[in-house]
Structure 1
Amino acid sequence: MRHVVVIGAGQAGSSCVAKLRNGGFEGKVTLIGAEPVPPYQRPPLSKAYLLGDMPLERLFLRPESFYAEQEIELRMGCHVQSIDTVAKWIILDKDELAYDDLVLTTGSVPRRLPAKMGGALEGVYVVRDLADVDAMAPRFREGARVLIVGGGYIGLEAASVAAKLGLKVTLVEMAERILQRVAAPETSNFFRNLHEGHGVDIREGVGLERLVGEGAVSGALLSDGSEIAAEFVIVGVGISPGVALADAAGIAIENGIKVDALGRTSADHVWAAGDCTSFPYRDSRIRLESVPNAIDQAECVAENIMGAEKEYVAKPWFWSDQYDVKLQIAGLNLGYDRVITRQGEGESVAFWYYRGDELLAVDAMNDPRGFMIGKRLIEAGKSPDPALIEDPASDLKALLKA
């Protein structure tokens, strides 16, 4: 009986095994996860779950019974030591496992502060998995002082939860502005104003020299010479693709596990999907860190294991929830040279990214209509006249028919 093994029980891994069964695959399926719980949603961890608005059971992507019902062997709390791509063999912490096809959905790992900067002190956290959030949750007490290092979406989402719960929040970003790597100044300005309006102390162009404390963190020294007190610290300075297993097995790495348009790696019968991969996109190669990409790419890989020979065509979109603002992003803004602002009803606003006359991406704040239309335009390869986008009287929906 043909055996498909999936390493990594996150969004991509769960989507892959479910698609195999939904697609009629009758062989053996094994899903291996390092965590002691079934696959779960990660985005709510730093928002609804941390706020106490979502119980643990609602985090699970599917009930544990689903895997048994679908004859998917779910191995939780199981660590893979190595992969032999020639023998098609996996060495686990307690036993070994043969495969016919292997799928790597090993996700990503958070970047941590080095020990010399105080990263080993008690009270220093990252936001990546359930254990991380469960460990820091008791610290979220009204009036507590928290330092957040990093002004990307992870840091800003953590700041919004902390501020809503009444903590005293300081956020430091060594770049000139928050979200500098991923968004235009217009979007940065919007979220800076939003956070400062909720009492968050945002310090841009300021780096962390080191954390201080005897055993446990008590504060931080910053690059501008200032020192701040902190009872705990959240580090949100980005993530790296989870390539360690693949790299050790001799599989090609290029800003992630390198796959072709079908999701195949450089090793025979080894596939990969999700945050850990880099894949062809238009005339380049990219890596996407998003739930939609993890689902779509993993399902495409499952279809190809069953013989579909289907190329994966990414349709990038993302979201972030902060306070009462939902940011929805369509497309990729790489190489933009101008940003068009379209003011919506009330406090809603959207920023449309152009490169010359080509529409690249849309950042929509509490503007689901603008997001959906922008997404459809980008996917259809349509680029409306920027003057029409800027004019609040113009009918966006009519642009889809143009």
Structure 2
Amino acid sequence: CLVSLSITDFYFMIVRNSSKTHNGHDIQLLVTEAGRCYAAFANENREYVIVGGGNSAGYAARTFVEHGMADGRLCIVTKEPYAPYERPALTKAYLFPPDKKPARLPGFHTCVGSGGERQTPEWYKENGIEMLYEDPVKDIDIEKQTLTTISGKLLKYGSLIIATGCTASRFPEKIGGNLPGVHYIRNVADADALILSLQKAKKVVVVGGGYIGMEVAAAAAGWKLDTTIIFPEDHLLKRLFTPSLARRYEELYQKNGVKVLKGASIKNLEAGSNGHVAAVKLGDGSTVEADTVIIGIGAKPAVSPFERVGLNTDVGGIQVDGLFRTSTPGIFAVGDVAAFPLKIYNRITRVEHVDHARRSAQHCVKALLSAQTHMYDYLPHFYSRVFEYEGSPRKVWWQFFGDNVGETVEIGNFDPKIATFWIESGKLKGVLLESGSPEEFQLLPKLARSQPLIDKAKLQNASSVEEALEIARGSLQGEAAV
């Protein structure tokens, strides 16, 4: 529980961390490196503890508040010096050039990404939520229901929600993965370090053709830097895009000055005479000069120190059921770190995307606090927005819903719209739309969840994206009539 402090208290805390008494309670007084002060009742059991500081933590906190169960009951433990924020901004608007109105905190604290209230540090204080900043959990005693933080603080919990997300996959040190000028992005500090490099950079190499690679390469292009994106797959975003769709985006990147090297393996990163990264050496022996390198080759679920809670060896992460309960009573896991049943497709999966981070946190807390027993029924949803900086010749925003399985039908010329439909056994399984209207985007989840039977030949003959979507809408209405 946070308490109000007098100016005298504040000055006392700046001098040294100490303890005082407030309304008969022992209070541990804490000062962060940023000079912010927080007070927490020491040695008092926390009814609910959330470990993590990303999207899931923020949306879980909001759900506790909505149910009137946060004030004096909820504690959030994070390794960062910030209240939970919308992480997708870090590879999008946060990286805009200084003259292109870049995003900065407190502008993207949760829950602004979904149109909700911006939960600043003051919001947590006003709602009686105890925040422990820059003090990650290093150990858990499951039997005693106790967490130990890096600073040595002991936290007794009633219910624990693990919302630790992922850590960036890294290049080994022996091939230059830790050289000065080599960057990974998972938090604000990472993004700030990259911005300092971009301010001095001349040649940028982005390694990875997935979401992070594509978004960072687009951002670097906004700085008017010599930018190359390198990846081993034969086209961008291999896990989702079809080859023909990927080719459209590759051409767009090239028009924005980004060189695309696909099907390329990396042998090592080379240092210059000053020890700073200077080049990327490829598997074929060629080199690409670079004074700034960003590695975006995926992520690993941040399961430590919670391995004993129960891991999934197939998809990684902590195994949970449809209510986000782990095999250990009283412990839950949400967001990127959770391996959960994907009910609609009858398989266990992990989803590393903000939409699931938000929804899983909300579902978990509702199940924990109420009699809600219906299982999480998530519809996979992915999206990306690139080249959105001021003055960009073409802003890109696509959304995907469903499952990318079966045959594909692609409609449109990318000027600006294009749509891809995935059809399996005559049923529409997934759909991706670029540059759609709000009404068109709203149609996509209805199609993907209903999986209507659709006339593939009729869809292929559509003369425009709009006509194709109307055909799909008609198949949806046909299913309803049956």
**1:241 equivalent in alignment to 2:301:** yes
Which residue of the partner structure matches residue 4 of structure 1?
48
Partners of 1:344 and 1:203 lie apart in 2 by: 24
**1:23 equivalent in alignment to 2:67:** yes
> Quick check: 1:187–1:363 contact (8 Å CA) kept in 2?
no
> Quick check: 2:46–2:156 contact (8 Å CA) kept in 1?
no
What's the TM-score once normalised by structure 2's chain length?
0.79
* Secondary structure at 1:312 match in 2: coil
Which residue of the partner structure matches residue 441 of structure 2?
371
Which residue of the partner structure matches residue 326 of structure 1?
397
Deviates more, 1:358-367 or 1:228-237: 358-367
Distance 1:195 1:345, change over 3 A: closer
Within a 5 Å distance, the mapping from 1:95-244 to structure 2 comes to 95-141=153-199, 144-214=202-272, 215-244=275-304
Partners of 1:151 and 1:245 lie apart in 2 by: 31
Which residue of the partner structure matches residue 359 of structure 2?
296
Deviates more, 1:386-395 or 1:282-291: 386-395
Partners of 1:187 and 1:31 lie apart in 2 by: 42
Deviation at 1:143, TM superposition (A): 6.9
Which residue of the partner structure matches residue 60 of structure 1?
109
Which residue of the partner structure matches residue 325 of structure 2?
264
Distance 1:128 1:319, change over 3 A: same
Partners of 2:206 and 2:414 lie apart in 1 by: 32
Deviates more, 1:52-61 or 1:282-291: 52-61
Q: Deviations over 1:151-197 (max 9, x none)?
A: 11110111111112100011111122221233221221121111111
* Secondary structure at 2:107 match in 1: helix
Which residue of the partner structure matches residue 423 of structure 2?
354
Q: Deviations over 1:319-339 (max 9, x none)?
A: 111221101111121xx2311
Deviates more, 1:387-396 or 1:98-107: 387-396
Partners of 1:401 and 1:125 lie apart in 2 by: 49
Partners of 1:105 and 1:164 lie apart in 2 by: 33
* Secondary structure at 1:43 match in 2: helix
Structure 1, unmatched stretches of 5+, are none
Deviates more, 1:385-394 or 1:70-79: 385-394
> Quick check: 2:215–2:386 contact (8 Å CA) kept in 1?
yes
Partners of 1:293 and 1:143 lie apart in 2 by: 35
Equivalent residue letter for 1:39:
P
Give 1 or 2 for the bigger CA radius of gyration: 2
Distance 1:143 1:297, change over 3 A: closer
Partners of 1:204 and 1:380 lie apart in 2 by: 36
**1:401 equivalent in alignment to 2:482:** no
Which residue of the partner structure matches residue 406 of structure 2?
337
Partners of 1:221 and 1:356 lie apart in 2 by: 45
Deviation at 1:300, TM superposition (A): 0.8
Deviates more, 1:137-146 or 1:17-26: 137-146
Q: Specify which of 368, 374, 398 is matched with residue 305 of structure 1.
A: 368
Equivalent residue letter for 1:245:
P
> Quick check: 2:201–2:291 contact (8 Å CA) kept in 1?
no
Q: Identity across aligned pairs (percent)?
A: 28
Partners of 2:456 and 2:445 lie apart in 1 by: 16
| Aligned residues between the structures | 399
Distance 1:171 1:345, change over 3 A: closer
Distance 1:237 1:2, change over 3 A: closer
Which residue of the partner structure matches residue 392 of structure 2?
none
* Secondary structure at 1:203 match in 2: strand
Alignment root-mean-square deviation, CA: 1.8
> Quick check: 2:169–2:298 contact (8 Å CA) kept in 1?
yes
> Quick check: 1:350–1:370 contact (8 Å CA) kept in 2?
no
Equivalent residue letter for 1:234:
I
Within a 5 Å distance, the mapping from 1:68-83 to structure 2 comes to 68-83=125-140
Equivalent residue letter for 1:11:
N
* Secondary structure at 1:56 match in 2: coil
> Quick check: 1:7–1:105 contact (8 Å CA) kept in 2?
yes
Partners of 2:413 and 2:239 lie apart in 1 by: 25
Q: Specify which of 264, 275, 284 is matched with residue 347 of structure 2.
A: 284
Partners of 2:67 and 2:458 lie apart in 1 by: 44
Distance 1:110 1:383, change over 3 A: farther
Deviation at 1:346, TM superposition (A): 3.9
**1:50 equivalent in alignment to 2:126:** no
Partners of 1:279 and 1:294 lie apart in 2 by: 12
> Quick check: 2:46–2:75 contact (8 Å CA) kept in 1?
no
Distance 1:93 1:176, change over 3 A: same
* Secondary structure at 1:275 match in 2: helix
Deviates more, 1:352-361 or 1:237-246: 352-361
Equivalent residue letter for 2:144:
A
Which residue of the partner structure matches residue 86 of structure 1?
143
Deviation at 1:12, TM superposition (A): 0.4
Partners of 1:219 and 1:345 lie apart in 2 by: 34
Deviation at 1:370, TM superposition (A): 4.1
* Secondary structure at 2:305 match in 1: helix
> Quick check: 2:201–2:292 contact (8 Å CA) kept in 1?
no
Q: Specify which of 335, 344, 349 is matched with residue 274 of structure 1.
A: 335
**1:37 equivalent in alignment to 2:82:** yes
Equivalent residue letter for 1:12:
S
> Quick check: 2:309–2:326 contact (8 Å CA) kept in 1?
no
